[in-house]
Structure 1
Amino acid sequence: MILTIGNTKGGVGKTTLAVQLAITRALAGREVWLIDGDRQGTATVAIAARAENGRAPGIACAQYPDGSILRTQVQQQRGKWDDIVIDAGGRDSTALRAALTLTDVLVVPFAPRSYDVWALDDIAALVEEARSLRDGLQAFAVLNLADPGELSADNEEAAAAVADVPQFVYLPQPIRRRKAFSNAGGQGCSVHELTPRDPKACVELTTLAESVFNIQTIAFAR
């Protein structure tokens, strides 16, 4: 499966989510390739920290911020991996556009802020363009960096706003703003590997991962 975590809006936690999902799949025994499509290379740094800390399993990671190189490498090597996770940069980049023509599932994280919700229209236009070039692209929006409280008006309003963007299906498995996610990212590990563990963060990540990857399983079954 090829999964892209992308948005034209920066600061929505794409890299954290991409790294967490890639490690989650590797811990489940999958052969995973994480592609860093951002010139900042934050995902690459996180995976390097994982290797330096001696964590297993190791995660294969490559940085391809140029769209043509990203496309060529994925096309040539996709058969070697169970899952490819692409972290696309927070702007309308060649890497993001290339990823959209290759990916099976796009997950668009957005935060419960007005600017983030408004920006969904920009990435929706790119999804529409990509769908004109290939069939089968599934696109989902997920609330990331959500307010920690179970009852949050901002969370609910942001989630409801996705209904106005028909290119996306809303995944009701939010990732809340928790220190465990930033701490884990800095060490190149999953929240499941972090000590001490944050049970709520672990449940949120597991629930999202099961939802995202089961979506593709269902699609293949059809």
Structure 2
Amino acid sequence: MIAAFLNQKGGVGKTTLALHLAGELARQGRRVLLIDADPQGSALDWAERRNREGLPRLFAMIGLARETLHREVPDLASGVEHVIIDGPPRVTALARSAILAAGRVLIPVQPSPFDAWASAELLRLLDEARGWRPGLDARFVLNRCIARTRLLHAARRELAGIVPPVLVTAVGQRVVFAQSARTGRLAFELEPCSTAAREIAALAAELRETNR
């Protein structure tokens, strides 16, 4: 699987989901490469915090915020089972390159109709990319959700039946994710039995099933 997390709207949790998905796949014994293609380098900052703490490396990571990403990924993907791309926060030539590099694009959105509407430019770019990549798959991922709220249910209704579809798994707004960013650890390391850890495991399982 080569999956890119993309959305031109900031603050939707791209990096958090990319890191945690890579970590969950690695925890399952998979060989994983995370590519930080965001010029802000937040995933690389997280890895540096982890290194300073003397923690073991869970998965390989490189920074590659270049418009040639799609040409470089095939070589980088050799020897690993999964490549996760943490994409840039805007629709640019770099975002186009990330789309062309990926077999699947994951679009994190918060449970608000405005987040889905804000993805319109990215969706147009995906339609354009399918001219070169007919099998390109894309899915919305509901993230930073507050459980059992009307807003979450309304977001599901808003996204129901649209293209691309929304994944069943929703990831909540959890304190442990903020702690993860500060400490260079992941939710399953900080709180192995937490709801956050279970949600990430469920996300990985759903992506594995829908990738068949």
TM exceeding 0.5: yes
Q: Deviations for 1:98-151, whole angstroms, at most 9, x for unmatched residues?
A: 11112112111101234312112222111111111112111111110111x3x2
Asked if the contact 2:39–2:65 (Cα under 8 Å) also holds between the matched residues in 1, the reply is yes
Offset of residue 83 of structure 1: 0.8
Q: CA 1:198–1:181 in structure 2 vs 1: closer, same or farther (change >3 Å)? A: farther
Q: Does 1:206 align with 2:205?
A: no
Q: 1:174 aligns with which of 157, 166, 170?
A: 170
User: Following the alignment from structure 2 to structure 1, what is the Cα–Cα distance between the partners of residues 172 and 14?
Assistant: 13
Unaligned runs of 5+ in 2: none
Offset of residue 49 of structure 1: 1.7
Asked if the contact 1:50–1:58 (Cα under 8 Å) also holds between the matched residues in 2, the reply is no
Residue 16 of structure 1 corresponds to: 16
Q: CA 1:64–1:71 in structure 2 vs 1: closer, same or farther (change >3 Å)? A: same
Asked if the contact 1:20–1:189 (Cα under 8 Å) also holds between the matched residues in 2, the reply is no
Moved over 3 A (4+): none
SS at match of 1:171: coil
Residue 134 of structure 2 corresponds to: 135
How many residue pairs are counted as aligned between the two chains?
Answer: 212
User: Following the alignment from structure 1 to structure 2, what is the Cα–Cα distance between the partners of residues 25 and 51?
Assistant: 20
More strand by share: 1
Q: CA 1:99–1:64 in structure 2 vs 1: closer, same or farther (change >3 Å)? A: same
TM-score by length of 1: 0.89
TM-score by length of 2: 0.93
User: Once the two structures are aligned, what percentage of the paired residues are identical?
Assistant: 30
User: Following the alignment from structure 2 to structure 1, what is the Cα–Cα distance between the partners of residues 119 and 50?
Assistant: 32
* RMSD, matched Cα: 1.6
Asked if the contact 1:26–1:57 (Cα under 8 Å) also holds between the matched residues in 2, the reply is no
User: Following the alignment from structure 1 to structure 2, what is the Cα–Cα distance between the partners of residues 180 and 83?
Assistant: 25
Mapping of residues 152-171 of structure 1, within 5 Å: 152-163=149-160, 165-166=162-163, 168-171=164-167
